Amino acid sequence: MVELRCLLGRRRQNREIDAAAERRAAAAFESDIAQGFLEMHPLEDRHAIGAGDLLIRLASLPLRTLDALHLAIAAAIGADTVATADDTFTKAARALRMRVEWFGSPDRSGRRR
């Protein structure tokens, strides 16, 4: 939720979307959670500790804080697949032996990464 709100706010500030589109996207996300299409898991101390461990373990990758937290939570709940549109997140998830569903733009050759 935090990362989605940050993304939407940044897109609105960059004038890529307007405030109404931001509200619609946030409402759709919350609706998907309410309908059970997406799950939210509370942040626990063990997840923050796990994220710190991942930052050390995957030190060769420029992993961001929220991405490390997402991966730590995914590992803690036993997720075997994650979805992303971020190359660094993809590399980190694969290093943790997770499958990645890519929803970003295709690469220059037209293939999905």
Residue 7 above 60 pLDDT? yes
**CA–CA distances in Å: residue 73 to residues 41, 43, 45, 62, 76:** 8, 8, 11, 19, 5
pLDDT tens digits along 20-43: 999 999 999 999 999 999 888 889
Tens of pLDDT, residues 63-73: 999 999 999 99
pLDDT number for residue 106: 56
pTM, entire model: 0.76
Stated as kind and residue range, the H or E segment containing 82 is strand 81-84
Domain residue ranges of the chain, discontinuous segments joined by +: 2-34, 45-102
Residue, of 104 and 34, whose pLDDT is higher: 34
